[in-house]
Amino acid sequence: MGKIKVKYLNIYYTITHKKEESVEFDESLTLRELIDKLCRSYKPEFRDAILDGDNKLKPYAWILVNGEPAKELAMKLEDGETIVFSLPVTGG
């Protein structure tokens, strides 16, 4: 049993109408599985924002795991981690 905090910035806040929420999981959860879960919860907008037609991450999807950009969707998420969905840093 584990629990992670998921934070939604900018376009993801528009989609979910939430700044953050907790997501619980039984044994393990990968980033891919989290995204699939959120795509089901906030369909169709969440999927349109983050995945392309081939089910791959869009180039402008920016996912942080404990402040670090996520390297791969297969990564396992650990109890207590914070995941952020946003557009990447730009401009001013």
The footprint of other proteins (CB under 8 A) covers 7, 9-11, 13-14, 19, 58-60, 62, 64, 66-68, 84, 86-92
By beta-carbon proximity to other proteins, the closer residue of 24 and 52 is 52
Q: Least Å distance between CB 84 and other proteins?
A: 5
Q: Least Å distance between CB 1 and other proteins?
A: 26
Beta strand 2-8 with 82-86 is parallel
Contacts of 18 (CB under 8 A, 6+ apart): 8
By beta-carbon proximity to other proteins, the closer residue of 23 and 57 is 57
Q: How far apart are CA 78 and CA 47, in angstroms?
A: 23
Contacts of 90 (CB under 8 A, 6+ apart): none
By beta-carbon proximity to other proteins, the closer residue of 27 and 67 is 67
